[in-house]
């Protein structure tokens, strides 16, 4: 899974509240795309419950923080934020008003009752598997109860959530997220996800297809299928056979009007033939794959419990590139995992040179309490991690820049997604997920336009009509 550096301050619904008698919620989202999706769905549940979304803390009478646990000291950061909200609540109370605070997401799951104990400002703690119960939890909180909902219930939370209204879908744009799978059974020894998100669960085909159809009917052109381990998705297919993600994507590609499909995040072990064939056969499936490897050393991969070797990963990449030669790869890397020697690190550098990534996320290993890595001997010194990360990032940045340069002069299809910073510009995305800035005259949001890349800077590409 990936954090993908997304931190969204989301006015989850566009029709921000102005009426005075409606309850108003401000949702702050941290972490990965799955949290963005979860916040949207919690927003839907709250809309059905009479709330309207606002985009400032000041205008809200409910603040919902959707937290992420993947980074170091995540819980401590949430507690200090809650300290600030306590001051705000005090101020509100002094003015005769009130403020409710709910904590959702992976820190809520991991800390549970502890949040109630340490942060008196909090009214509701709700884990990622229980947010369909949010309206009831808030109702109980209004009666004075302090609610903790962090079990892993047997019922499907998605069944308990209202459908997103076409208006809310449109407000969120032409590229949408759709969670198809949650949780993780892989237990990489550095990672908290199996503990915070629980066991792997796949949503059924019919629900996914219905949700995708609703998105497309409301104007969505691109869907990114989400899952902590998205390519472990499996389910009973429409033909009665067991389907994997490749078959699911084939079915979704049949939806008229759905022109682009992506998925993230994948584990190398779950990249099966059918999914690779989907990359070969389906023009709707975009040529971009986030396939974390974490390390290029077999000893470290084993100790991380990644369940594959460096060689197996490289061979897999070759098979994927044989099926879809223009595919752009991105990855996640950890330096300084316990026991990582200079030779282990050099093996990671070699793997990066061999694979050649278009994009990447890289981190220094840091201990997550409760994971096996936390108890391992041979923790690597901070100074060594810093030095290794700098070298690794220099190499990866050079590869990313080379990938951008390689696009110069090429004609590519863009999905126009949103207005640019200047009113006469639009921002579109290339098939390889790069943001591309174009003159607004080339089309309107939702169009696919053919453009020629004319210029690059460090983060964006510029293009003209082809
Ligand atoms: N230390 C450093 N990086 C980590 N990641 C997950 N857990 C840790 C950790 N304990 C990274 C992995 C993962 C990405 C989302 O975050 O690279 O793929
Ligand atoms: Fe974490 Fe590994 Fe599962 Fe990804 S595959 S969520 S890194 S345990």
pLDDT in tens, 417-448: 999 999 899 999 999 999 999 999 999 999 99
Using CA atoms, how far apart are residues 49 and 126, in angstroms rounded to an integer?
17
The Cβ of residue 19 has, within 10 Å, a number of other Cβ atoms equal to: 7
**Burial bucket for residue 244 (CB in 10 Å: 0-12, 13-18, 19+):** buried
Q: What is the mean pLDDT of residues 29-54?
A: 92
Determine if ligand 2 sits within 6 Å of the CB of residue 188: yes
Residue 72 binned pLDDT confidence (cut-offs 50, 70, 90): confident
At 153, list the tokens: 């219930």
Determine if ligand 1 sits within 6 Å of the CB of residue 2: yes
CA–centroid distance, residue 74 to ligand 1 (Å):
13
Ligand whose nearest atom lies closest to the CA of 333: 1
Do residues 408 and 434 touch, judged by C-beta distance below 8 A?
Answer: no
Residue 11 binned pLDDT confidence (cut-offs 50, 70, 90): very low
Query: Counting atoms of ligand 2 from 1, which one is nearest the CA of 294?
Result: 7
CA distances from 271 to 128, 152, 192, 353 (A): 26, 27, 22, 22
Residue 161 binned pLDDT confidence (cut-offs 50, 70, 90): confident
Determine if ligand 2 sits within 6 Å of the CB of residue 34: no
Using CA atoms, how far apart are residues 318 and 274, in angstroms rounded to an integer?
15
CA–centroid distance, residue 102 to ligand 1 (Å):
26
Using CA atoms, how far apart are residues 426 and 424, in angstroms rounded to an integer?
7
Percent of the chain with pLDDT over 70: 95
What pLDDT digit, counting tens, does each position of 281-290 carry?
A: 999 999 999 9
For 143-270, where are the alpha helices, taking DSSP H only? 166-172, 193-196, 205-217, 245-253
At 197, list the tokens: 């998100």
Looking at residue 73, its pLDDT comes to: 86
Using CA atoms, how far apart are residues 186 and 180, in angstroms rounded to an integer?
17
Cis check: omega of the bond before 360, within 30 degrees of 0: no
At 169, list the tokens: 């879908």
Which residue's CA lies nearest to atom 1 of ligand 2? 191
CA–centroid distance, residue 373 to ligand 2 (Å):
13
If one residue of 190, 192, 292, 304 were mutated to test the ligand 1 pocket, choosing by the most ligand atoms within 8 A of its CB, it would be 190
Determine if ligand 2 sits within 6 Å of the CB of residue 184: yes
Tally of helices (H runs) and strands (E runs) in the chain: 14, 22
CA distance from start to end of the chain: 36
DSSP state of 131: G
- Helix 382-406 and helix 342-355, axial crossing angle in degrees, nearest 10: 10
Query: Counting atoms of ligand 2 from 1, which one is nearest the CA of 192?
Result: 1
Determine if ligand 2 sits within 6 Å of the CB of residue 228: yes
Q: What is the mean pLDDT of residues 123-129?
A: 94
Query: Counting atoms of ligand 1 from 1, which one is nearest the CA of 364?
Result: 2
CA–centroid distance, residue 292 to ligand 1 (Å):
10
Nearest 10 degrees: CA dihedral of 109, 25, 208, 156?
40
At 369, list the tokens: 């309490």
Residue 197 binned pLDDT confidence (cut-offs 50, 70, 90): confident
Ligand whose nearest atom lies closest to the CA of 68: 1
Phi and psi at residue 457, in whole multiples of 5°? Answer: -125, -165
Query: Counting atoms of ligand 2 from 1, which one is nearest the CA of 267?
Result: 5
Using CA atoms, how far apart are residues 212 and 327, in angstroms rounded to an integer?
24
At 67, list the tokens: 């937290």
Ligand whose nearest atom lies closest to the CA of 268: 2
Residue 4 has pLDDT above 80, yes or no: no
Query: Counting atoms of ligand 2 from 1, which one is nearest the CA of 306?
Result: 2
CA–centroid distance, residue 126 to ligand 1 (Å):
23
The Cβ of residue 423 has, within 10 Å, a number of other Cβ atoms equal to: 8
Residue 71 binned pLDDT confidence (cut-offs 50, 70, 90): confident
Using CA atoms, how far apart are residues 149 and 13, in angstroms rounded to an integer?
24
- 222-226/260-264 β-pairing: parallel
Residue 351, SS3 per DSSP: helix
Using CA atoms, how far apart are residues 137 and 74, in angstroms rounded to an integer?
24
């Amino acid at each position: 899974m990936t954090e993908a550096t997304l931190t969204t301050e989301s006015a989850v619904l566009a029709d921000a509240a102005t009426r005075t008698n409606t309850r108003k919620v401000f949702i702050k989202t941290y972490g990965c795309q799955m949290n963005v999706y979860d916040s949207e769905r919690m927003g839907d549940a709250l809309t059905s419950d009479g709330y309207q979304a606002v985009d400032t803390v000041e205008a809200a009478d409910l603040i919902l923080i959707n937290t992420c646990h993947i980074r170091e000291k995540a819980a401590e950061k949430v507690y200090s934020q809650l300290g600030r909200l306590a001051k705000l609540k005090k101020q509100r109370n002094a003015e005769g008003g009130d403020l409710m605070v709910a904590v959702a997401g992976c820190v809520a799951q991991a800390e549970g009752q502890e949040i109630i104990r340490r942060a008196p400002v909090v009214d509701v703690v709700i884990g990622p598997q229980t947010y369909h119960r949010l309206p009831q939890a808030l109702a109980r909180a209004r009666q004075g109860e302090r609610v903790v909902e962090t079990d892993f219930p047997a019922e499907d939370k998605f069944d308990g959530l209202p459908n997103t209204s076409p208006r809310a879908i449109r407000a969120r744009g032409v590229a949408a997220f759709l969670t198809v799978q949650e949780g993780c059974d892989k237990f990489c020894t550095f990672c908290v996800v199996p503990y915070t998100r629980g066991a792997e669960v796949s949503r059924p085909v019919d629900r996914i297809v219905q949700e995708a159809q609703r998105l497309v009917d409301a104007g969505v052109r691109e869907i990114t299928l989400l899952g902590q381990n998205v390519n472990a998705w499996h389910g009973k297919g429409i033909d009665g056979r067991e389907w994997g993600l490749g078959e699911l994507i084939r079915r979704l590609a049949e939806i008229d009007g759905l022109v682009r499909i992506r998925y993230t995040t994948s584990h190398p072990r779950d990249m099966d033939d059918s999914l690779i064939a989907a990359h070969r056969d389906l023009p709707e499936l975009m040529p971009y794959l986030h396939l974390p490897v974490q390390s290029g050393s077999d000893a470290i991969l084993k100790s991380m419990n990644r369940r594959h070797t460096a060689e197996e990963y490289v061979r897999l990449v070759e098979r994927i590139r044989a099926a879809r030669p223009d595919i752009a790869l991105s990855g996640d890397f950890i330096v300084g995992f316990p026991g990582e020697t200079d030779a282990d690190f050099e093996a990671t550098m070699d793997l990066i040179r061999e694979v050649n990534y278009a994009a990447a996320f890289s981190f220094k290993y840091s201990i997550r309490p409760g994971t096996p890595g936390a108890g391992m001997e041979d923790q690597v010194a901070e100074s060594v991690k810093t030095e290794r990360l700098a070298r690794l990032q220099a190499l990866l940045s050079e590869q990313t820049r080379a990938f951008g340069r390689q696009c110069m002069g090429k004609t590519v299809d863009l999905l126009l997604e949103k207005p640019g910073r200047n009113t006469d510009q639009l921002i579109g995305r290339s098939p390889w997920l790069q943001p591309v800035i174009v003159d607004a005259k080339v089309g309107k949001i939702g169009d696919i336009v053919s453009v020629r890349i004319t210029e690059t800077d460090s983060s964006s590409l510029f293009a003209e009509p082809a």
